[in-house]
A and B are shown apart, each in its own frame.
Chain A
Amino acid sequence: MNKLNLDQNVIATCRQLAMGIADDIHEFIHKHTTVSVERTVCRLLGVDGVDRFGVPIPNLIVDDIKDRGDLSRGVSVYLAAGLKATGMDLKALVKAYLQGEVQLGSDPLPSIKETLGILEPYYAATLKQIKDNRGERENRKQKYGQKPTEIYVIVATGNIHEDVIQAKAAAKAGADIIAVIRSTGQSLLDYVPYGITTEGFGGTYATQANFRLMRAALDEVAEAENRYISLVNYASGLCMPEIAAMAALERLDILLNDSMYGIIFRDINMQRTFIDQYFSRLINAYAGIIINTGEDNYLTTSDAVEEAHTVLASQFINEAFALKAHLPEQLMGLGHAFEIDPAVEDSFLLEIAQAEMAREIFPTAPLKYMPPTKHINGNIFRAYQQNTMFNLATTFTDQSIHLLGMMTEAIHTPFIADRYLAIENAKLVQRAAKSMREEICFKPGGIIESRAKSVLAKAAELLESVRKIGLFQALENGVFAGVKRPFKGGKGLEGVIAKHPQYLNVISARMEAELL
């Protein structure tokens, strides 16, 4: 569909520029690994659990090798060396390691080929489990059928058992997608908490055990409702690939997974983030998990009218990084948001222009559309009205993942009734405006068409300038959201390691080979 009469040449140029930008960064990515990448390898070989102080075993092993061995070789060869030297299986080796009976790093390191052979039973088993999960999801989705626009709501009580109650209520009220917000601050932890958790702030800790509980609960409601209910969590922060691995193992369906969000909004080091995002997206591609990107955040910090083109430019960059990680467009939930100040005249038309433009430029991507948050205040009745307009824009421009606005957005994490009212609002609009998209076209040269054209042109200009200086430099200059981040600044840089020529990551080696 080309209702906006967009210039296809400009779009093609944008794609080319974005791919050039991603190519440059990938030169860097492929020469490096990180502690979280290596911990993810441990997890996908089946190493899980915590020691008696609650430290996750993948952290223990990776930190140990970093301190006493040479992590630039990757954790894979060290585990293979341990297995070879002791003749134990991995479970026994980890147990002996925890008891101090075995050290990792003191044995001669096997070759790459030998390592792949020694570790095969372990990675083959987890990769099979991930593939089975993918098949299971496809079967279930096929059985229930899928809607073009899916309603996405958030639960965030801090207690996974309470989350389950609220998620089930939301699903029964009509939600198709449930996101469990993480406890604030988790993105800055350089480990993933373990086990079932009942205390969190502003959200619930993302742990594999919590994933499993919520997955089972949503499958149960899905059966009763005869709809697939998708589960969302956050592969962002310092543990991007580890969360992706856990999500793949527990059949989560969507992960927040932006290539630059952590850099810009969480002050995580840019080198660390780019390396981590690649492996996390590779896992998502393998597991069939939809990624959601975080362009909406630019507009909560910067002005939504003036900075609209940064959203589009970033979508192109996220698309390029996703393609580099073998993610097909069907798994790219590129993000954008309805954040223009409603005091602006014709703001609704500008919103339509932006949303329709995204739809047309990324026609098969499951676009993630975010509700107003910035210009919402304690007047819950006005907020409800703004959300109705947002819902209309969503339906009219055929967005895919529809994150509902809450009328108590500016007040607290949603009450159960807030979520219910939001779902009712969205359902009413979906029904009332069902065929509006097919019926209405835009005035040639009118406000909507002109706006889209100008945003696209400005995005092309921005991409051009980023291409010239490179993305690292652009982030240092504060191109996105006006936030400047130094190359060597931010959190997590100490976890970045240049790869040895003999480096091996058995998981990515296998995944890349299969996805190519």
Chain B
Amino acid sequence: MKLRPYGDTLADGKVQLSFTLPCDPDATGIEAAKQLAKAMGMIDPGVVQAEKIGEGFGFFIVYGSVPFAIDTDKIKVEDVATPTLSREEIESLIEKELGRDVVFVGASTGTDAHTVGIDAIMNMKGFAGHYGLERYKHVKAYNLGSQVANEEFVRQARRLQADVLLVSQTVTQKDIHLRNLTNLVELLEAEKLRDQVILIAGGARITHELAKELGYDAGFGPKKYAEDVASFAVLELIERKKSVK
């Protein structure tokens, strides 16, 4: 299927855009904004609003259309392939297939001070009506909180004999989360722990594809809850147990 943005008519290609230029929003500024939109491929862009937002800064809102169409048949997206089970299904799977508690150790690592993500997955209450891992039977969930150094995280993973490591990266600046995530993989490899655990990354800007690329077993972005993470982890653990046999 060929896709183009939809404004109010199929395939009209309408898009909206806003940005700041380090110049006053005078006639020259507006023309600059327009040319920028054209350079991005927009046809007939209209600067619908231009405001001065401080000394020498202009904010521009632009509407226009794009001529491009995307062929969805040619898109390949890597997403977590395992199904999402309910909490009860996960609990009974652990009981039947593993016969022991599964240890999840999670943290917001590196310099990230935000716990929203890891709390949503791990804490009893969970998020948006989806209970967190602490609520699960046969799951031991250790939430180490925020700003946990990778070295400390690895140390705790070993001490607690973690089956699953959850790494959260919420708010990022200049992509430091990528460096931090990579660093953790290197540390785990150096400590010969990488193959002993299921390593999962999560966060607003994490995708499964990105996580795989960085050497993680899975990645979970927005709108993913404890059951998504637990399903993947538990099914993977069962899979690994079988392959050992």
Q: Identify the A interface with B (CB < 8 A).
A: 156, 158, 168-170, 172-173, 183-185, 187-188, 201-202, 265-267, 300-303, 341, 343, 373-374, 377-378, 410-413, 415-417, 420-421, 482-483
Contacts and interface: CB of A to CB of B under 8 A. Distances in A.
B173 A158 contact: yes
B115 interface: yes
Contacts of B123: 301, 482
A169 B145 contact: no
Given A377-B222, A416-B53, A417-B18, 5 more contacts: A169-B54, A184-B113, A265-B145, A301-B123, A483-B145
B20 A416 contact: yes
Contacts of B205: 411
Nearest to B55: A172
Given A410-B204, A411-B204, A300 B115 contact: yes
B176 interface: yes
Contact of B125 (A185, A303, A417): A303
Contact of B173 (A302, A412, A420, A421): A412
B196 interface: no
Contact of B59 (A301, A410, A417): A417
Interface string B45-75: 0000001011101010000000000000000
A343 B129 CA distance: 11
B111 A201 contact: yes
B204 A378 contact: yes
Contacts of A169: 53-55, 57
Contacts of A173: 53-54
B19 A417 contact: yes
Contacts of A301: 115, 119, 123
B35 interface: no
A233 to B, nearest CB: 16
B150 interface: no
Contact of B147 (A266, A303, A415): A266
A165 B51 CA distance: 18
A412 B54 contact: no
A413 B115 CA distance: 16
Contact of A202 (B57, B113, B116, B222): B113
Given A201-B173, A377-B222, A413-B171, A170 B54 contact: yes
17 contacts: A168-B54, A170-B54, A184-B112, A184-B113, A185-B111, A201-B174, A202-B171, A265-B145, A301-B119, A301-B123, A341-B128, A410-B204, A415-B20, A416-B20, A416-B53, A421-B59, A482-B123
Nearest to B180: A201
A300 B55 CA distance: 35
Interface residues of B, number: 30
A420 B147 contact: no
Contacts of A158: 173-174
Contacts of A202: 111-113, 171-173, 176
Interface string B91-122: 00000000000000000000111011001000
Contacts of A378: 204, 222
Contacts, number: 82
Given A158-B173, A413-B171, A420 B116 contact: no
A412 B51 CA distance: 22
Contacts of A185: 111, 147
Contacts of B54: 168-170, 172-173, 416, 420
Interface of B: 18-20, 51, 53-55, 57, 59, 111-113, 115-116, 119, 123-125, 128, 145-147, 171-174, 176, 204-205, 222
A265 B145 CA distance: 8
A486 to B, nearest CB: 14
A13 to B, nearest CB: 30
A300 B176 contact: no
A173 B20 CA distance: 14
A410 B169 CA distance: 11
Contacts of B111: 183-185, 201-202
A371 to B, nearest CB: 14
B57 A416 contact: yes
Contacts of A483: 145
B202 to A, nearest CB: 14
A300 B113 contact: no
A30 to B, nearest CB: 31
Contacts of A411: 171, 204-205
Nearest to A221: B55
A373 B204 CA distance: 13
Nearest to A224: B55
Contacts of B55: 168-169, 172
B59 A420 contact: yes
Nearest to B172: A412
A374 B116 contact: yes
A253 B128 CA distance: 39
A158 B19 CA distance: 21
B146 to A, nearest CB: 7
B21 to A, nearest CB: 10
A62 to B, nearest CB: 24
A172 B51 CA distance: 13
User: Max chain A CB contacts within 10 Å: which of B51, B115, B173, B176?
Assistant: B173
B24 to A, nearest CB: 12
A183 B51 CA distance: 31
Contacts of A420: 51, 53-54, 59
A184 B147 contact: yes
Contacts of B145: 265, 267, 483
Contacts of B115: 265, 300-301
A303 B119 CA distance: 11
